[in-house]
Structure 1
Amino acid sequence: MTAFGRMRKGPGQGRQSFPKDILILTSDAGSGHRSASKAVATALQRQYGEQCRVKIINPFHLPKAPAVLRLAERTYLAQIKYTPQLYHFQFEATDTRFLGQLINLGATTLMREALLELLESTPADVVVSVYPIYGHTMATLRKRDGITIPHITVITDLVSVHSAWFEPEDTLCLVPTDAACEKGLRLHMEPHQIKVTGLPVHPDFAQPPADRAALRRSLGWDPERPTALVLAGGAGIGPLVEIAEQIARRCPYAQTAVVTGKNKEAYERLMERSWPIPTHVYGFTDQIPALMHASDVLVSRAGGLTVSEGLASGLPIIIYGIVPGQERGNLTYVETHEAGLYAEEPEDVGAVLERWLQPGSEERALYAVNAREAGKPRAAERIAQWIWRVATRELA
């Protein structure tokens, strides 16, 4: 078997060599896992520069990965959009230690050959996964194929974490909350394996602008009007047009920024309208940190990454959509910290914003303070530090 030298090297063996190679395994089932991967990669590169090389790979798209994995990835968004209750049933029914292990065993059967080929051709001092199932495959490769690369799992759900995320053979499991840590311990993870770091958001969320009015002007926004930022994830699933209509009708003193992601229909509907208040429409964009820093309120679905980005930016959050299963815990986290509210219908969103977007709203200010306290804008930096300790064998 041909392999890179460092891949076979056990912890603490050999002399240190740089740069360190860090391989991040992600998924494109939704946009959150990819965004978390980029956040961790950016944090590593900013902290360690030329001392590290980071590569992000989606194993589902490897040549030897079975097509059924790519099919499952493609149909995820359709499932949560059209049959969310079925998804919820599947999530809840399989969220046990035994069934979580069974899921991981099946995934390993499908993934083992593809992942082994990847590791034989790609240098890695540590492998980091931001998606469940990869951890068990890595554990199997260590037991059966002599792979000695340390493996770290970074969990991207705040509270409702599926059992399939937890692999007892991992070197580390980096979790966003105490609740996630407690679940890992119940599933027989060891205390030394689990570190509570927060959920990795891009490091730019930790750097608010010195001049917010100047940032707004650079975006073409009114620098004075209270602003609601409306998101719907990378796929743009949600009643974006209806929410924008509610804001325009109820909040004539405000302005709206709407990000439609890959939802071209919503983008075109919003662009063709003549709005009575300033309404700024974006498609898929990498400007989310700037848009959040320039806004006063976030209106969003309950995706773990988006919620964490909003909290890291100190934005009170109105959640209007939940994927039953892993996202319900994200709403619980926001409500428990009194950092936001749930508003099921566009009319409910409009009613809350009518209060929150009033100039000088004390209610909005209180929720903003709570959001800032609940947010962990430097989570990606902490995660990068743990990864570096493993890559350099400081933590064996």
Structure 2
Amino acid sequence: MKIVDLIYFNAGGGHRATAVALGAVLRQRKPEWQVRLVNLFEVLDPQNRYRSITGSAPEDWYNKRLARGWTIGMAPELKLLQTVIRLAHRPLVKQFQQHWAQTEPDLVVSLVPNFNRALFESLASALPGVPHVTMLTDLADVPPNFWIEPDQDQHFICGTPKAVEQARALGHAEERIHATSGMIIRPDFYDVIRLDRARERHRYGLDPLRPTGVVLFGGHGSKAMLGIAKKLAESTQLILFCGHNKALARQLRALPQRAPRLVIEFSLDIPCYMRLADFFIGKPGPGSISEAVQQGLPVIVVENAWTMPQERYNAAWVRDNHLGIVHGSFRTIDRAVAQLLSQFEKFRVSVRSIDNRALFEVPEILDDILDEATRIHSDEAQAACHPPRFLRTSSSAAAAASTSASLSD
């Protein structure tokens, strides 16, 4: 049985969501594999010392910032984080080496940025020949040293032509760059469900005939949703997802409204609710906009100083593929909605042209990588057992000479 490790962390939620979705489809399609989800920070801090000292997980502060919309200034903070990781490179490698030696995976798939140099070097030294794969969970890299490291003999799985070109530009071999048709999203976004939208909207207190927007800012929501709800309270029917942010849900429910509004706390039924909507409003996260597009929803996103570095390309991807509207602020969300609805059919045709099958493409890519590694290992083992003829002849001659010398002594 082959052991496949999927490395993730909980910063932002998208990395874990990708690991869970990929793990589910791998177990279904490759039952002969043992698939393990490995939390990066549990490897680095197995005794949970950080939580015992601070009272929170390393990702909690980041997630709280996302929920409060405190994302301005993240570009210089990213550089600082990368500097700290470079300074801690040796102890990081040592910690990872110990982990690989104890757990002995046959394939490692990294779904996290920033740590891939340490992950690769530790795996190559602890378990030579075991492939390391970096699968970008963003639509593009944020060079340098974010997703794609130079001078590493490893594989990359890229969800856009932009990411493929970035890997090529850093000198990686073509056979180690694997293109997919998009981002990994949950399997249930591919389910075909016959739905009476008018009846379901009525059941939730929504107007069956009104254009409806779904508002989504990840698993913890965002205070930006309050401004959106206020701006659209008179004109636009909304479904708002607050995730684990119960305080935000209470605030949204308390806002005055004329247009119907449905506020949802944490739910696993996001695809079902999305099928009740006509368009998406949210931050340009790769997972959220990919899910919306999979459900046939044109999108409204913003790009400004608060947009995180790893999400800035996503707005360009929306524009270039004519998938919706990009504004500079949600303060103009009413105009963005009017603009989108005035060109709704055009955007919907473009959205429907996107055929994202990444969830089903990646298992075959990983299978090919594992097969190649197994073949190389088999060839090396066979070569060690059966050296070339000239080596065998030389060895025999040396042995004969040694025996003759011993007898003469």
AA of the residue aligned to 1:280? L
CA–CA distance in structure 2, aligned partners of residues 85 and 263 of structure 1: 21
Sequence identity percentage: 23
Q: Residue in 1 aligned with 2:14?
A: 32
Consecutive unaligned residues in structure 1, runs of 5 or more: 1-17
**TM-score, length basis structure 1:** 0.80
Three-state SS of the structure 1 residue aligned to 2:309 is: coil
CA–CA distance in structure 2, aligned partners of residues 355 and 257 of structure 1: 19
Q: Residue in 2 aligned with 1:179?
A: 162
CA–CA distance in structure 2, aligned partners of residues 263 and 39 of structure 1: 23
CA–CA distance in structure 2, aligned partners of residues 29 and 170 of structure 1: 27
Contact 1:178 1:196 in 2 (8 A): yes
CA–CA distance in structure 1, aligned partners of residues 202 and 185 of structure 2: 23
Q: Residue in 1 aligned with 2:214?
A: 229
Spell out the pairing of 1:318-333 with structure 2 (5 A cutoff).
Answer: 318-320=300-302, 323-333=307-317
Q: Residue in 2 aligned with 1:293?
A: 275
How far off its partner does 1:152 sit? 0.9
Consecutive unaligned residues in structure 2, runs of 5 or more: 377-409
The more displaced of 172-181 and 382-391 is 382-391
Q: Residue in 2 aligned with 1:112?
A: 93
Contact 2:140 2:160 in 1 (8 A): yes
Pick the aligned partner of 2:116 from 129, 135, 139: 135
Larger RCO (CA within 8 A; separation ≥ 6)? 1
Q: 1:271 to 1:85 in 2, by over 3 A?
A: closer
**TM-score, length basis structure 2:** 0.78
Spell out the pairing of 1:329-340 with structure 2 (5 A cutoff).
Answer: 329-340=313-324
Pick the aligned partner of 2:174 from 191, 195, 218: 191
Say whether residues 1:384 and 2:363 are aligned partners.
Answer: yes
Contact 2:201 2:276 in 1 (8 A): no
AA of the residue aligned to 1:186? A
Q: 1:281 to 1:212 in 2, by over 3 A?
A: same
CA–CA distance in structure 2, aligned partners of residues 32 and 153 of structure 1: 15
Q: 1:23 to 1:145 in 2, by over 3 A?
A: closer
Q: Residue in 2 aligned with 1:12?
A: none
CA–CA distance in structure 2, aligned partners of residues 40 and 170 of structure 1: 23
Q: Residue in 2 aligned with 1:86?
A: 73
AA of the residue aligned to 1:307? I
* Aligned residue-pair number: 363
AA of the residue aligned to 1:129? S
Q: 1:83 to 1:213 in 2, by over 3 A?
A: closer
Deviations 1:309-356 (A, max 9, x none): 222222111013652411110111101111111234444112222454
Q: 1:354 to 1:230 in 2, by over 3 A?
A: same
CA–CA distance in structure 1, aligned partners of residues 333 and 177 of structure 2: 37
Structure with larger Rg: 2
CA–CA distance in structure 1, aligned partners of residues 371 and 235 of structure 2: 56
Three-state SS of the structure 2 residue aligned to 1:249 is: coil
Three-state SS of the structure 1 residue aligned to 2:116 is: helix
Q: 1:147 to 1:230 in 2, by over 3 A?
A: same
Say whether residues 1:371 and 2:351 are aligned partners.
Answer: yes
Contact 2:131 2:154 in 1 (8 A): yes
How far off its partner does 1:181 sit? 1.2
CA–CA distance in structure 1, aligned partners of residues 148 and 330 of structure 2: 37
The more displaced of 122-131 and 56-65 is 56-65
Pick the aligned partner of 2:60 from 71, 74, 95: 74
Contact 1:152 1:174 in 2 (8 A): yes
CA–CA distance in structure 1, aligned partners of residues 349 and 137 of structure 2: 24
Three-state SS of the structure 1 residue aligned to 2:73 is: helix
How far off its partner does 1:160 sit? 4.6
Spell out the pairing of 1:145-164 with structure 2 (5 A cutoff).
Answer: 145-164=126-145
How far off its partner does 1:169 sit? 2.8
How far off its partner does 1:232 sit? 1.2
Q: Residue in 2 aligned with 1:44?
A: 26
AA of the residue aligned to 1:75? W
Q: Residue in 2 aligned with 1:259?
A: 241
Q: 1:241 to 1:208 in 2, by over 3 A?
A: farther
Contact 1:161 1:180 in 2 (8 A): no
Three-state SS of the structure 2 residue aligned to 1:294 is: coil
Q: 1:238 to 1:147 in 2, by over 3 A?
A: farther
- What is the RMSD of the two structures over their aligned residues, measured on CA atoms? 3.1
Contact 2:110 2:133 in 1 (8 A): yes
The more displaced of 158-167 and 79-88 is 79-88
CA–CA distance in structure 2, aligned partners of residues 213 and 188 of structure 1: 50
CA–CA distance in structure 1, aligned partners of residues 127 and 4 of structure 2: 19
CA–CA distance in structure 2, aligned partners of residues 148 and 272 of structure 1: 58
Pick the aligned partner of 1:206 from 190, 193, 209: 190
The more displaced of 375-384 and 72-81 is 72-81
AA of the residue aligned to 1:388? D
Deviations 1:127-160 (A, max 9, x none): 1111124432232224433444211111011135
AA of the residue aligned to 1:385? E
Contact 1:107 1:133 in 2 (8 A): no
